[in-house]
Amino acid sequence: MSKITVQPTGVLFHPDSRRVLVRPFISSDPVRIGHVIARALALTESEVEGQLAILRVDFGSRHMDLETCWRRHFAMVRGHVGDAPVSHGRELYIGALFSGEYALESTALFNPSIIPHPDQSGLGAGELRFVLSLRATGEGHISSIEFRSGIIRADAGIAVDSVSPLVVAPKVEENPTYRKTVFLHKLREMGCENKWSQGIMEPLGDDFTHGELERAMRGAPGQGMQRTREIERTMECVNWLARSNYELHFEPSVALSQRIIFPVSPNESNGIEDARFVRFVEDDGSVLYYATYTAYNGRAILPQLIETPDFRNFRVRTLNGQAVQNKGMALFPRRVNGQFAMISRQDDENLFLMFSDNMHFWNSPQLLAGPRRPWESVKIGNCGSPIETEAGWLVITHGVGPMRRYCMGAMLLDLDDPSRVLGSLDEPLLEPTGETREGYVPNVVYSCGALVHGDHLILPHALSDTSSTIGLVALDKLLGSLLKKSR
């Protein structure tokens, strides 16, 4: 059989340093904060208004709602201002002093995944509207999630919607809700289940809010007594867990390409990495979009889960269980034999398969496949969620070989029993060559998710951790090659 080729589409996604987000720029030293505020308070109202006029001219056209950001950042340092009344203009100016622009994708725009768009209205015959997620990386190698959209034509031609130069951070829900069973399980997993934590959780309902949790902590037995180290550690665990589960909301007027999911919780302070989005269809036909991603705080990694019905409202949740380790967890797009299923890589070397009755709890992984060929002799992993075809579950893989060279491959799993590998490619489906091997991290091709449309596999992929593109693969040729291995 002739070599399978990945046909280029000419679609490219390059990092753009002009897309900037307003972030807090606040010193950790309260003395320095006080010095900055004192200088702002020493200005006359006229001088403050003059400075604001300059700032509005310089930065107003670069952001959709700049003054809202300034007000938010003023609130973060309000306690350092004292009791003196402060005019609205001075609040804005102080907020601006503690603000800074962050170029989200100044370093890279890579590791894409593609899924069908929730809105498929107004399309022609054989067309599919898609959402493409991308990992954007800027100063300090902090990663966030961006989105693009477009249409795949009946002939597999791809048209990408125009991209706004402006970006918007979501509103973080101030009083998110939690599921008690999940919260308790994670506390137990963290070794923080004791009489004090039981006293906190006892009065809470099956679902509770952050405000209710705080009130329960204030009213917990022994709260007014001298705290032991165990109580201190338990409080840290509860607060960490609460901050790691949050909700985000974008206004309907914010276009998809303007929406940015930037790190919120402490465990992802250094980045939200490699989101693998999937359109999940429940047995009753209901649809929800999930993404597994890697939270990174500069020291440790933690797999987490995003849920969204519409790419406007998002819930971020911790994953639980002994199998929640390492990178590269990828959810199947439906239940398999009544259970949720996931591809994973707990040991940073081999591919594993997991099943669970609960989306948020994962244990007992079973070995699925290990490195076999020279181009994957260091380790293998997945490049996104398995794709259902008539022939079986198509899994796009990546392999790391000599000189840390990343190639992409493919394997086929049995539809009814995904633990059965029907076939896998001996040679790479895609490998870094020519100019595509040069970039922020050289010699890498990588993807976080593909989809099938008509006779083609639509394969978005990153080029050396710098930019991204979309390729096309003839599906019958790919499946034929994999089934030939099966025979």
List the domain boundaries for the chain: 7-12+264-486, 20-103, 177-244
Alpha-carbon Rg of the chain, whole angstroms?
Answer: 25
The predicted pLDDT at position 433 comes to 93
d(Cα 195, Cα 318) in Å, to the nearest integer? 23
Q: Give the pair of three-digit tokens for residue 389.
A: 């075809």
User: What is residue 60's DSSP assignment?
Assistant: G
Alpha helical stretches, state H, 60-189:
66-77, 88-97, 180-189
d(Cα 445, Cα 432) in Å, to the nearest integer? 6
The predicted pLDDT at position 300 comes to 82
The predicted pLDDT at position 221 comes to 66
The predicted pLDDT at position 454 comes to 96
pLDDT in tens, the chain (487 residues): 458 999 999 999 999 999 999 999 999 999 999 999 999 999 999 999 999 999 999 999 999 999 999 999 999 999 999 988 899 999 999 999 999 999 999 999 999 999 999 999 999 999 999 999 999 999 999 999 999 999 999 999 999 999 999 999 999 999 999 999 999 988 988 888 888 888 899 999 999 999 999 999 888 765 554 567 888 888 889 999 999 999 999 999 999 999 999 999 988 989 999 999 999 999 999 999 999 999 998 888 889 999 999 999 999 999 999 999 888 999 999 999 999 999 999 999 999 999 999 999 999 999 999 999 999 999 999 999 999 999 999 999 999 999 999 999 999 999 999 999 999 999 999 999 998 899 999 999 999 999 999 999 999 999 999 999 999 999 999 999 999 866 5
Give the predicted TM-score (pTM) of the model. 0.94
Backbone angles phi, psi at 349, to 5 degrees: -145, -45
Closest CA to 196 of 142, 141, 246, 233: 233
Sign of CA pseudo-dihedral 115, 120, 122, 125 = positive
Distances (CA, A) of 273 to 5, 276, 292: 28, 9, 9
d(Cα 4, Cα 396) in Å, to the nearest integer? 14
Q: How many CB atoms lie within 10 A of CB 289?
A: 21
The predicted pLDDT at position 1 comes to 44
CATH 2.115.10.20 fits domain 7-12+264-486:
yes
